[in-house]
Amino acid sequence: MTGFIQFCLSRAEILFCLFSPGQRVLEIGFGPGHGILFAAERVAPLTVKYLREQNHLQRILFQLRSPTVCFPSDGHVQGVDISEYMVKHAKRLNKPLIRAGTVSLKLASVDHLPMLSSTIDACFHVNCFYFWHNLPYSLRQIWRVLRPNGRLVTTFRPQRLKRHVERGWLRYGRVDPVAYALALEACGFSQVEWFKDQVWTKSTDPYECIVARKPPIHSLTQSSDMESNISLG
């Protein structure tokens, strides 16, 4: 059931990400890798279509040759997770996309993102932020890799989290979405929106989604100028 819930959250979250073909996107804490696959369907539709249209023999030959499929209009999906087990699981699920050069999965944490600054169009994570040891620092790392106007999206199920807390399953986590939303604003994210009581299927609890943006370049420049004037004054 947990896997199904994670599957539903990942699928629902992709809708809020507003992905489009050609984008470079990042998932933090990708778990079994379903979100990675869903993201690839949006940002690299030609590659996904090409791989799905192959017959069994073509897929075997494709894996043996390990070519890089080149569709210039397609994007790229990157992912980081701190679990070796999940990295292996997600790599198996997304093996054709990895071989095609469309997906890259790495063993890494949100505190040490192995990406250059301002290279990611959108970042998303599911059931993740309450395990980050230093929330402001982690968000600043995401801020660093996002391009101006990039989106950051997270989803979670409040009722399920409440049950986990009551049972003591999250004693090492900080389950506080309000603190997360406030930290987003403190780190400089703008247009923070909180969507509540969202429903994906009738058989699962409602979920909530928090969306934020890294301001566009002109807003960042204005903010920098204001800080300079304040310091000079």
Contact 28, 10 (CB under 8 A): no
- Give the model's pLDDT for residue 221: 59
Spans in the chain with pLDDT lower than 50 = 1-2, 5, 226-233
Counting DSSP H helices and E strands in the chain, the numbers are: 10, 7
Q: At what angle do helices 34-43 and 84-93 cross, to 10 degrees?
A: 40
Determine the residue type at 157.
R
Give the bridge partners for 209, in sequence order.
Answer: 155, 195
- Give the model's pLDDT for residue 1: 40
Determine the residue type at 203.
S
Counting the structural domains of the chain, the total is 1
CA distance 82 to 144: 20
Q: Please compute Rg for the chain using Cα positions.
A: 19
Domain with 182 in it = 2-232
Q: Residue 94 belongs to a domain with what CATH number?
A: 3.40.50.150
- Give the model's pLDDT for residue 232: 40
Return the percent helix, strand and coil in the chain, to nearest 5. Answer: 50, 20, 30
Residue 96 is encoded by which pair of tokens? 């054709």
- Give the model's pLDDT for residue 103: 97
Residues 6+ apart with CB under 8 A from 59: 51, 96
- Give the model's pLDDT for residue 230: 35
